[in-house]
Amino acid sequence: MRGRHYATVIIVLLAIAATAAARRTKYECDPGDRATLLAVKAAFGNASYFQSWTPDFPCCKWIGAWCDESASPYTLRRIVALSFLRDDSLVGPLPGDAIAGLTALRQLILIHVPGVNGTIPRALTRIPSLSWIDIEYTGMSGPVPSFLSELTALSYLRLAFSAFTGEIPASLADLPNLSFLDLGRNHLTGRIPQRLLSKASDAPWLTLCLSHNNLSGTIPAEFAAVNFWTFDLSHNAFTGDASLLFGLNKSLSTLNLSRNAFSFNLSAVQLPNQLVSLDLSHNDIYGVLPPQVVNMQSLNVSYNRLSGTVPTGGSMHCTTRACAELRFLPANDHRLHETSSPPAVLGKSFLCELTGLTDLGLPFNSFMGTIPESLADLPNLSYLDLGRNHLTAHWPHPATAPQQ
């Protein structure tokens, strides 16, 4: 009996000790990581951002430092993410040598820290686990470094809203896991590397954003085999044929090619089934609108050389999400011309089914026929511009017109 009693006591004591150890280590990070974080703090001149980074406060609770929550409760935790968000007190270059001491780091995030400047430090390549880099709204500049291709675990790279210059390094195409690349809102020049993102061509949510730069040239032919989810080349100087991006069975959901000099026949393309947002405005695109545009949530084809009729019918009904969310259909000055006889462009078209439509502008075109009375049934329509067309009928009775 006495032996059994002692065994029970030992088991209870071990359980208490284990619970105490778990509580003690829950917010305790690895001592080496703790020292590295303090070195990062010192490199930024002990800025006010680091007020919580004190010796008497558990380092896993320090603002911007994230520990591995999947680790055993009985082990010291490694720092896996480091973030600097919305702070003006951080001033100076990114302390790469200090950050490189966080050898288990997976994510590095800097957003809205305008005082952080300089170039991307090569020391980051000493962190093999780094898979996520998000640097935006900073004062950082210089080229997008080719040595980023050494981070073979990298799947997410956003260097946006900063002052990066030069060309997109071709070596980024060697990253086997890169499926999200956003280099928008910088001062980049040159062409798109031919094999960019091709190694992750079938990854879900494959995203490429290069908007608002000074890029030029054509879309690489290799992109015809890449299954993008989001694709944005807006506000650049691209030319040539972009029809290779389209295809009925592609996963493309959002496509923005606006404000370039693309030229291709829109009549010859099939819009992807999943495409919900399409902006082709301010290009040199010709042909007619594909019938699938009736399923768009957002459509802008203004300032092109399109012709033909506005498609009718489609699957858009007032109970669908697409119908409810399509709010603005700008089509001014894209030179749509009615070719049928008698014309019925604004007759029983899909416009009458867009119960979420608030703004409709179709000026400076060649629409003919009558203004459909069914437009007056749109409950949210508050702006209507049909000027500079060839419409012959008057607006429906005032009692049925939009009241806004």
Low-confidence residues of the chain: pLDDT under 70 = 1-27, 71-74, 308-368, 388-390, 392-404
Q: Residue 255 falls within a domain, yes or no?
A: no
Q: Which two tokens stand for residue 259?
A: 């404000």
Return d(Cα 218, Cα 263) in angstroms, integer: 11
| pLDDT for position 396 | 53
For the chain, the farthest-separated pair of C-alpha atoms sits apart, in whole angstroms, at 106
Q: Residue 193 falls within a domain, yes or no?
A: no
Q: Residue 69 falls within a domain, yes or no?
A: no
| pLDDT for position 213 | 99
Please give the helix or strand (H or E) that residue 97 lies within, else none: helix 96-99
| pLDDT for position 309 | 63
Domain of residue 294, residue span: 290-404
pTM recorded for the entire structure: 0.80
Q: Residue 192 falls within a domain, yes or no?
A: no
Q: Domain count of the chain?
A: 1
| pLDDT for position 316 | 38
Q: Residue 63 falls within a domain, yes or no?
A: no
Q: Residue 122 falls within a domain, yes or no?
A: no
Q: Residue 54 falls within a domain, yes or no?
A: no
Return d(Cα 292, Cα 271) in angstroms, integer: 6
Q: Residue 125 falls within a domain, yes or no?
A: no
